[in-house]
Amino acid sequence: MNGTLARCLRDVSCLLLAFTATVSASDPLSPQEAQSSFALHPECRIELVACEPDVIDPVHIAFAPNGKLWVVEYSDYPNGPQDGEPGKSRIRVLSDDDGDGRYTNPVTFAEGLIFANGLMHWRDGVIVTTNGQVLFMRDTDGDDVCDDTQQWFTGFATENPQLRCNHPTFGPDNKIYIANGLRGGKIVPGKDYPWPNKRLPEPLDISGRDFRFDPFTGEYETISGNGQFGLTFDDWGNRFVCSNRNPCNHIVLEEEHLRRAPYLRVSKVFEEVSPAGVDSRLYPISRTWTTSNLHANQFTAACGVTIYRGNALPESFYGNSFTCEPTGNLVHRDILTPSGITFTSKPGREGIEFLATKDEWFRPVNLANGPDGALYVVDMYRAVIEHPQFVPDELKNRPDQMLGIDKGRIWRIVSKSATVESPARIVAQEKVSSTAGTSDLVNLLLHANTWQRDVARQLLVERREMEVEAQVRQILLSSKSPGTLAAAFSVQEGLGLHIDDHPDFAPATNARFSGDVESLLAIEELSSWDIVKIQVIAGTEPAQLCHRLLDRSADPDLVAQIAEAVGRKNQKDEIEGLIKESLDHALAHPWQSAYLLIGLSKGLPDHRAGIWKHIHNLDETAEHQFQRLVRLCLQADQQSHERVSAKYSLLGLSNDGGTLRMIVQISEGSNIFTELVTRTLAERPEPEAAVALVKLLPKLPTSLRNTAVSSLTDNSFEIHLLLDLVENGQLPALAVDQNIAKRLMAHADPVIKEKAVRLLKQAPPEDRVKVLAEYQSCLTLESDPLRGKQVFVKNCAQCHKVGDVGVDVAPDISDSRTKTPEYLLTNILDPNRAID
């Protein structure tokens, strides 16, 4: 057995065993004891609203217009019913008949549901997300028990209960939004879909996106996203979602904006407003447990993100984001500040959470704004909240996994100094109900609390109250409150009224990508979102903007990205007009010309070859002008990273033998721009470039090796160079991507095919089984974490990252506590068996 590998396996496996811990639950607290255990912001107080047995396993709440509290109970969690058994989820309706703020007397509206996790009120019923479906459920005889269930949509993913569609929400555009759950699905109208003429011809794939439908017309579509469990809006209509490691993501770029700029390409459509993943910081006061020590005191189960828009907490809390972290037994608060077209954030208090406790059973999973202006906390109250799929094998069947299935609490948080009436009293006093008069509802649009505004605008739109035009116009012309203006604007849009817009207000989705390009170009330092905004405004005519950028010192990323969009549009006259103008401007503005040509090459289908095809279509001086531009940039003294990168990119585009020799010379020495040199050589088609790349290849880190290998398969000469490297032992056969290897082993040239099969064909699986058996004894050796780290740095860190060591380009292997030693051994010796 190879000694180094044995030591590596020993170190890693034993280190893993050291990580593994047995976790046991503490004892549950009574609601009164739990209330006393909370550490809450000093300006706030927390009160019990409902608890077991009236509430069990709550996961979502919604107040009806009449003030009753509707609760979705998630008693299927975590494993669901056995085959043939009914679902254990249910919806219960609680009342506060004496107005004391405590909700009791539960009536079961619906039971036997499977993994029901969200609802919203709509007309005479509720829209419910459950078991991969969107249902409309209603009570037709007034007893708060469902007697009519309609399946409106189905096809959402159902693989894991933590990753299912959720949070149906009436949006500012009067459409209903649903968070994806992360696993997507292919959505089709259900058997009771009431709008047959709106059915799409094919299932709607929502992978990587969220879902929206119009409850009046039945039209449905994907929207940018995506969220796991949580969906919320602010007063301006900005949408926020969350996922396990991302406590608050602002959806900046909606699909409607992408349609306006069809040649725009972006890596993300959201901004991580709150620090996410390893950058997040939490301060639990309980004995927390995470599946990786590296994730301690970070978000690992962020859910229920909510923008607070009430009037019962201190005024400074309005517009803050709140996110639950059930594994940390806490609720986190961030203060959001507008920044360009998105937001930045800072913690509500440095080093202290908004709400935390030492009670390990406290499991906040959702939040809500209430009729009383309070922030409501939905507490599932379980001993264990982690799903068995995501914990080590030895903890999958822990005996305390189901402790707490008979418990659940709902809390409200208000200002410590305020006297806040109960929701039931407030709703009665303010005449909020589905039968309220039109004038009463319009007046509620002026309310300081979002719940009243949202209920009023929804009821006005539901009831098609067209006679409110004069009153809504008066609000839009006189109010200064964003919340009121947003609600009035929503009513205007929903009813199709034609009212002049307020001069100081527009919904975020309208305002975010509007404006004057010239004013944006005047910004000294453009953010990445500024560049996206300029491209959206440029829309379908990016070439026009490119011409304007050539004679000014515009941001290099902006020039390159706009030019890249022109390349993707791929219109001959536009491209050649830009190339000619950029080359004519090269003496006065060499860098602008360089960035433009580099961007064009990236966008064109044939990249480098595409640029030269268009250059050759121009007059005979164009090629000389291009080489002159290359020389100008190479001779420049300024060495910013952007300009050094541009130099190498130009060298890659050039077809001059002198520049190729320069690249080859650079590649033969030690240089800090290895990545740029590698990509430059990969771009050049000459045999000399391939020879230089082959010499460089064995020294490259794995992340660059794939680029080099891929570029050496364009012709027989290059392929033989690559296979010779493998045959001479300078390049491991496994360094050749499986797809490339398969292609070479099926090559039309019989010589190449035979050579590839001989060198690249992997050993049959039986050999791996034998090797695994031989190495089992490594798991019993004594561990040496320090030596294991050294082996990791040498052999793994080029692609994998653990803690602060390595490069994060390959699958995440840092969750060591979720992996058994046997699992780790298998994946080291047989890495192609599975990819996490």
How far is the C-alpha of 425 from the C-alpha of 445, rounded, in Å?
A: 19
Same domain for 674 and 804, yes or no, is no
> Which of 811, 787, 791 is CA-nearest to residue 801?
811
Cβ contacts of residue 500 below 8 Å, gap of 6+?
A: 473, 476, 477
Same domain for 408 and 529, yes or no, is no
Among the ranges given (7-11, 99-103, 481-485), the one the predictor scored with the smallest mean pLDDT: 7-11
pLDDT in tens, 634-647: 888 766 778 888 88
CB distance 422 to 67 below 8 Å: no
Residue 35, in any domain of the structure: no
Average pLDDT over residues 665-687: 78
Same domain for 108 and 129, yes or no, is yes
- Indicate if the alpha-carbon torsion angle 267, 269, 274, 276 is positive or negative: negative
pLDDT at 397: 58
Q: How far is residue 566 from each of residues 531, 574, 596, 599, 824, measured CA to CA in Å?
A: 15, 8, 10, 9, 47
Same domain for 410 and 474, yes or no, is no
- The answer, yes or no, to whether residue 28 has pLDDT greater than 60, is yes
Average pLDDT over residues 580-597: 92
CB distance 79 to 396 below 8 Å: no
Same domain for 725 and 650, yes or no, is yes
Same domain for 628 and 479, yes or no, is no
> Which of 382, 375, 372 is CA-nearest to residue 429?
372
- The answer, yes or no, to whether residue 39 has pLDDT greater than 90, is yes
Q: Return the C-alpha torsion angle 762, 767, 772, 775, nearest 10.
A: -100
Residue 492, in any domain of the structure: yes
Residue 420, in any domain of the structure: no
pLDDT at 505: 67
Query: What are the tokens at 119?
Result: 């609802």
Average pLDDT over residues 466-478: 91
Among the ranges given (510-524, 593-607, 714-728, 780-794), the one the predictor scored with the smallest mean pLDDT: 780-794
Examine the fold and report which residue of 505, 536, 559 is the final residue of a domain before the chain moves on. 505
Residue 555, in any domain of the structure: yes
Residue written as token pair 């969350």: 242
Residue 649, in any domain of the structure: yes
With a pLDDT cut of 70, the percent of the chain lying above it is 88
Same domain for 62 and 136, yes or no, is yes
CB distance 594 to 629 below 8 Å: yes
Domain count, the chain: 4
Average pLDDT over residues 77-92: 92
* Phi, psi at 120, each rounded to 5°: -145, 150
Residue 836, in any domain of the structure: no
* CATH code of the domain containing 546: 1.25.10
- The answer, yes or no, to whether residue 17 has pLDDT greater than 60, is no
CB distance 543 to 578 below 8 Å: yes
pLDDT at 735: 85
Same domain for 297 and 238, yes or no, is yes
- The answer, yes or no, to whether residue 577 has pLDDT greater than 80, is yes
**Mean per-residue pLDDT over the chain, rounded:** 88
How far is the C-alpha of 228 from the C-alpha of 242, rounded, in Å?
A: 6
Residue 201, in any domain of the structure: yes
The letter for the amino acid at 352 is: I
How far is the C-alpha of 684 from the C-alpha of 708, rounded, in Å?
A: 12
Q: Is the peptide bond before 78 cis (omega within 30 degrees of 0)?
A: yes
CB distance 578 to 600 below 8 Å: yes
Same domain for 208 and 98, yes or no, is yes
- The answer, yes or no, to whether residue 15 has pLDDT greater than 70, is no
CB distance 178 to 210 below 8 Å: yes
CB distance 61 to 410 below 8 Å: yes
Same domain for 486 and 536, yes or no, is no
How far is the C-alpha of 346 from the C-alpha of 333, rounded, in Å?
A: 9
Same domain for 732 and 821, yes or no, is no
Average pLDDT over residues 250-264: 94
pLDDT in tens, 183-237: 999 999 999 999 989 999 999 999 999 999 999 999 999 999 999 999 999 999 9
With a pLDDT cut of 90, the percent of the chain lying above it is 62
- The answer, yes or no, to whether residue 576 has pLDDT greater than 90, is yes
DSSP alpha helices (H): ranges in 550-673?
556-569, 572-584, 590-603, 607-617, 621-635, 641-653, 657-668
Q: Return the C-alpha torsion angle 113, 115, 121, 122, nearest 10.
A: -70
pLDDT at 832: 54
pLDDT at 291: 57
- The answer, yes or no, to whether residue 4 has pLDDT greater than 90, is no
- The answer, yes or no, to whether residue 500 has pLDDT greater than 80, is no
Cβ contacts of residue 824 below 8 Å, gap of 6+?
A: 9, 12, 13, 16, 816
764 DSSP assignment = P
Q: Quick one: residue 543, left, alpha or beta (phi over 0 = left, psi -120 to 50 = alpha)?
A: alpha
Cβ contacts of residue 718 below 8 Å, gap of 6+?
A: 690, 711, 712
DSSP alpha helices (H): ranges in 251-388?
255-260
Average pLDDT over residues 26-51: 97
* CATH code of the domain containing 118: 2.120.10.30
Q: How far is residue 122 from each of residues 79, 147, 434, 458, 693, measured CA to CA in Å?
A: 30, 16, 10, 8, 64
Residue 752, in any domain of the structure: no
pLDDT at 707: 86
How far is the C-alpha of 394 from the C-alpha of 21, rounded, in Å?
A: 9
pLDDT at 796: 77
How far is the C-alpha of 265 from the C-alpha of 771, rounded, in Å?
A: 45
pLDDT in tens, 159-177: 888 899 999 999 999 999 9
What residues make up the domain containing 168? 41-415
CA distance from start to end of the chain: 28
Among the ranges given (355-359, 361-365, 431-435, 469-473), the one the predictor scored with the smallest mean pLDDT: 431-435
SS3 of residue 319 by DSSP: coil
pLDDT in tens, 511-557: 788 877 888 888 878 899 999 999 999 999 999 999 888 877 788 88
Q: How far is residue 352 from each of residues 347, 356, 630, measured CA to CA in Å?
A: 9, 9, 55
More confident residue, 136 or 512: 136
Same domain for 445 and 583, yes or no, is no
pLDDT in tens, 791-836: 777 677 766 777 667 765 455 566 554 466 776 777 677 665 543 3
pLDDT class of 23 with cuts at 50, 70, 90: very low
Average pLDDT over residues 70-87: 92
Examine the fold and report which residue of 368, 383, 415 is the final residue of a domain before the chain moves on. 415
CB distance 146 to 163 below 8 Å: no
